[in-house]
Amino acid sequence: TDCAEIYNDGHKQSGFYKMKPIQSPTEFLAFCDMSEGGGWTVFQRRADGSQNFDRVWADYEEGFGNFVLANGEYWLGNKNLHYLTNQGNYTLRIDLTDFEGERRFAQYARFRVASEEHAYEMNCGEYSGTAGDSLTGGFHPEVKWWADHRGMKFSTRDRDNDNYEGNCAEEEKAGWWFNRCHSANLNGLYYKGPYTAETDDGIVWYTWHGWWYSLKSVVMKVRPADFDHNIV
């Protein structure tokens, strides 16, 4: 199951629901966003800096955060994300808000996270949206070799799988699909304001606000590409 199925079962209220993807051995809770047509399963939320995202491999694997409050920050867990996205063809949507109150989004086709034996490698397809393509380095051909996050394994400070001589996760204080290191890092440190000289380790989406602006809020969510909501 996922939030699309839950929506089509008649649950049109956004909120936390239990679900169990096909290969998943256990049920887990996730927030279902029933806006934008409904059926979105939220796997990451940043809202206020209340949760620490500078965590070790096991935390990112299992998931962590606030699974009670509608606006609670959390990471659903790489294991759950794998089970979820391997049920079929999923679209990734990322909703971003800056400190001026402006909203942008980025959407990617065919988003998938591999299993633990492949270190939760991330892949995705075509970009569409208003925030620019920071996830695949699509904004300039010469940056792809270091800024494309597709095909990258997940890295945390205690599990370095990036393409950089150093340890991106340690330097950026986050778990993410780092390359050398990133043009998107939505698990970065939460800053109460957009800028300081130090905020390159913040919540960065390069193609909207550059390297040093840390965003106010983020939601990362997935939905089956062929989602057809029941008109009930």
The yes-or-no verdict on residue 147 having pLDDT over 80 is: no
Q: Which of 12-16, 34-38, 110-114 has the lowest mean pLDDT?
A: 34-38
Give dist(CA 183, CA 209) in Å, integer. Answer: 11
Q: What is the pTM of this model?
A: 0.95
In CATH, what is the architecture of 3-224?
Answer: Alpha-Beta Complex (3.90)
Give dist(CA 45, CA 48) in Å, integer. Answer: 10
Q: For residue 34, give Cα distances in angstroms to 3, 9, 39, 127, 224.
A: 8, 12, 5, 22, 14
Tens of pLDDT, residue by residue over 62-73, are 999 999 999 999
- 227's CB contacts (< 8 A; 6+ apart) are 4, 37, 39
Mean pLDDT of 160-186: 93
Tens of pLDDT, residue by residue over 105-126, are 999 999 999 999 999 999 999 9
Give dist(CA 70, CA 72) in Å, integer. Answer: 6
